[in-house]
């Protein structure tokens, strides 16, 4: 029970990595605030955790809205008195050639992947300063460390998340707030399934990419376990890092 009674807000927790982190946090005893822009999937995650004897509330909201970001944090504080952990997971992808990516698509990527992380992180940070500490975990990607074809906008935003993470960590460390980023590679989620289909249509061999990770996709649970470590007191001196979860993919 590494996270027993810690109050944690997880954005984009309706599916994929966010849902996996929510499940793992609940197993470790966390009190969860589940957020998603999709009310159906977000509520499903909260209901699943509750049915398994966990504690979870669903708060609908768009992370790129300053009002919604504040509402998520306010909900946690009003109901539970504090916010110990934020997992900034909500993100979108656009898989298109650089020359064909539209201004609207780029704007959408920036709104969710950068602005959303900034706004929710800011509200969580303000609360954590008041209460004397906390842990913020921003989801970047190996696309924030290296690049991949057809993901110019996505990689740009995920590189930005790492820069934002390090700046937040530097500024907030005197307030006992740690800020770290996770950089997963190819994880078995609906997002990677969509990307693989587009890559295949563009004659890009996904198998050759995953071969560098010993011919398998990563598991959501493998990302969630690292998130638990960063959320727990066991990582008390880990701050300002961007941790690859990639089976040496970025080392090759």
What is the tens place of the pLDDT at every residue in 3-49? Answer: 999 999 999 999 999 999 999 999 999 999 999 999 999 999 999 99
182 phi and psi, to 5 degrees? -105, 140
Q: Are 16 and 23 in contact (CB under 8 A)?
A: no
CA–CA separation, 87 vs 106, rounded Å? 23
Query: Does residue 114 sit in helix, strand or coil?
Result: helix
CA–CA separation, 7 vs 56, rounded Å? 10
pLDDT of residue 248: 87
Q: Give the side-chain half-sphere CA count within 13 A for 158.
A: 28
Mean pLDDT for the stretch of residues 137-151: 93
**What CATH architecture is 7-185+219-246?**
3-Layer(aba) Sandwich (3.40)
| Top-confidence residue, 131 or 211 | 131
DSSP H or E stretch at residue 178: strand 177-184
Which residue of the set 25, 118, 154, 186 is catalytic? 154
CA–CA separation, 60 vs 5, rounded Å? 22
- pTM equals 0.94
Question: Which of 79, 27, 74, 77 is CA-nearest to residue 48?
Answer: 27
Domain residue extents for the chain:
7-185+219-246
What is the layout of strands, in order, in the sheet containing 31-36?
A: 55-60, 31-36, 7-10, 85-88, 134-139, 177-184, 242-245
Residue 168 has pLDDT above 80, yes or no: yes
Residue 195 has pLDDT above 80, yes or no: no
Q: Give the side-chain half-sphere CA count within 13 A for 149.
A: 10
CA–CA separation, 25 vs 8, rounded Å? 8
Confidence grade of residue 249 (pLDDT, cut at 50, 70, 90): confident
Q: Has 154 been annotated as catalytic? A: yes
Q: Give the side-chain half-sphere CA count within 13 A for 223.
A: 32
DSSP secondary-structure letter at 58?
E
Helices (DSSP H) in the chain: which residue ranges?
16-27, 39-51, 66-80, 103-109, 116-131, 152-172, 190-201, 206-210, 220-231
């Amino acid at each position: 029970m590494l996270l027993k009674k810690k109050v944690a807000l997880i954005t984009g927790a309706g599916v994929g990595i966010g849902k996996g982190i929510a499940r793992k946090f609940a197993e470790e005893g966390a009190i969860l605030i589940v957020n998603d822009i999709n009310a159906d999937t977000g509520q499903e995650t909260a209901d699943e955790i509750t049915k398994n004897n966990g504690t979870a509330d669903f708060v609908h909201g768009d992370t790129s809205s300053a009002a919604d970001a504040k509402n998520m944090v306010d909900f946690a504080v009003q109901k539970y008195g504090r916010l110990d952990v934020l997992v900034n997971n909500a993100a979108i992808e656009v898989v298109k050639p650089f020359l064909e990516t539209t201004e609207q698509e780029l704007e959408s990527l920036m709104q969710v992947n950068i602005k959303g992380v900034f706004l929710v992180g800011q509200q969580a940070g303000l609360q954590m300063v008041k209460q004397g500490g906390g842990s913020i975990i921003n989801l970047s990607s190996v696309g924030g460390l290296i690049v991949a074809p057809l993901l110019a906008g996505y990689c740009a935003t995920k590189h930005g998340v790492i820069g934002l993470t390090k700046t937040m960590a530097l500024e907030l460390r005197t307030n006992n707030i740690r800020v770290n980023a996770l950089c997963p590679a190819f994880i078995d989620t609906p997002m990677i399934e969509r990307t693989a289909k587009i890559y295949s249509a563009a004659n890009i061999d996904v198998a050759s990419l995953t071969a560098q990770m010993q011919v398998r996709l990563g598991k959501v649970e493998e990302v969630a376990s690292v998130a638990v470590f960063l959320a727990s007191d066991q990582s008390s001196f880990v701050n300002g890092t961007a941790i690859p979860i990639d089976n040496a993919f970025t080392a090759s």
